[in-house]
Homo-oligomer: A and B are copies of this chain.
Amino acid sequence: MFVRNAWYIAAWSDEVVERPLGRRILGEPVVLFRDSAGAIAVLQDRCCHRGAPLSLGDVVPRGIQCGYHGLVFDSAGQCVLVPGDHKVPPGARVRAYPAVEQDAFVWVWMGDPEHADRSILTQYPYHNDSRNWPHQHQTLHLRSGYLLVLDNLMDLSHLGYVHKGTVGGDATTHVEAKMRTVRTPNGVRFERWMLDSVPPPTYVKAVGFKGKVDRWQEIEFVAPNAVIQWNGAIGAGTGVLRDWKYDSAREDCFSMRLFHGITPETENSTFYFWSSANGYNQNDPSATTQLFEEIARTFEQDKVVLEAQQQRLLELPDGPLVEIHGDAARIHARRAIDRLIAKESGAMRYEHRASEDQTAPLKPGE
């Protein structure tokens, strides 16, 4: 079960270049390409002549050309050429999906095209600010359903177990973190503080912390598919953290932003589009790369757990599961998705309500 009337990340902008890109989104095979003006188009990846994937074809001036018998389709999915200038038969078209590029992403709308409202796109301006937030990114494929990927991000207590050696560090620190969870109009946000704590290995590598730190994590889930994270640490007891005024000029200040885009490939597999942005040593590209490599390692660790968990739950779906205190944000996040699905399936007509669909403003002060 998916929310269909939503923008999903289909690719990073830089994944769609000369060649068409075939990908499966919400269970449907789609092909992404750029028209001659460079604008993104997304079509069903199945030629309406003999069913060959269009992604095996070529981008041509008028659109995309099937690699089997040469039919050409424009960005709207209309067949505009049958080779030999024969008449295009009526009905020769493939489904087109609304698509838009923003913040380094290709977003696609898999639901009713009538409701594809660009104004509700999740914003992530940091991807456009390479001076303050130089970043690197990756597309990770997980054989795990999107809800489990979301769960993973909504309970950061797993950092102390799965990611001891990178961004997690000491498990007790996470267990004792102060935490506040608030429901937002279209998701949930939580904040965690770990004052006077031992910094995790990734942070130490980044800025060379010698002693303890005051550490924070801010996580916002924007239903149904984006998690926006701001993390950092600063020398313990400086009082700086209280006002959310860290100073990146200080040597003992670490800060990073993570974007997590969660796009279902199928019910049980997911594309995970993530980026890590360096907010502590912006002028050093090797620092940005080092951070990226630490986070990439971290998500490979998640991949192992998530895929094994998915297999277990598929096999033993009826066994009881208990809830613990750490599940609060996770449960809120799931409910936000449930509400969207209920709205889609129950409503006669789909409506956006501003009060529900606006992303709550991020905490100021960065």
Q: Which residues of A contact B (CB under 8 A)?
A: 29, 44-46, 48-53, 56-57, 65-71, 79, 82-84, 86, 89, 91-92, 151, 155, 157-158, 160-162, 171-172, 174-176, 304-305, 308-309, 311-313, 315-316, 319-326
Contact = CB atoms under 8 A, between A and B. Distances in A.
A67 B161 contact: yes
A53 B45 CA distance: 37
Contact of A86 (B79, B161, B325): B325
Contacts of A312: 29, 45-46, 51-53
21 contacts: A29-B312, A44-B319, A46-B319, A48-B320, A48-B321, A48-B322, A49-B321, A50-B151, A51-B319, A53-B311, A56-B308, A65-B161, A68-B161, A68-B305, A70-B171, A82-B325, A83-B171, A83-B172, A84-B157, A84-B176, A92-B322
A50 B161 CA distance: 14
A78 to B, nearest CB: 12
B305 A49 contact: no
Copies in the complex: 3
Contacts of A171: 70, 83
A46 B324 CA distance: 16
A80 B45 CA distance: 52
> Which 6 pairs from chain A and chain B are nearest by CB?
A84-B175, A51-B313, A83-B175, A52-B309, A92-B322, A89-B322
Contacts of A68: 158, 161-162, 305, 309
A200 to B, nearest CB: 16
B308 A53 contact: yes
A49 B326 CA distance: 10
Contacts of A172: 83
Contacts of A319: 44, 46, 48, 51
Given A171-B83, A308-B56, A322-B92, A316 B67 contact: no
B56 A305 contact: yes
Contact of A322 (B44, B84, B91, B157): B91
Given A51-B319, A83-B171, 5 more contacts: A44-B319, A53-B311, A83-B172, A91-B322, A92-B322
Nearest to A95: B319
Contacts of A158: 68-69
Nearest to A55: B308
A108 B44 CA distance: 42
Given A46-B319, A82-B325, A175-B83, A69 B155 contact: yes
Interface centre among A308, A315, A323 (most CB of B within 10 A): A308
A312 B51 CA distance: 6
A247 to B, nearest CB: 32
Contacts of A162: 67-68
Contacts of A83: 157, 160, 171-172, 174-175, 326
Nearest to A90: B322
A69 B304 contact: no
A84 B325 CA distance: 9
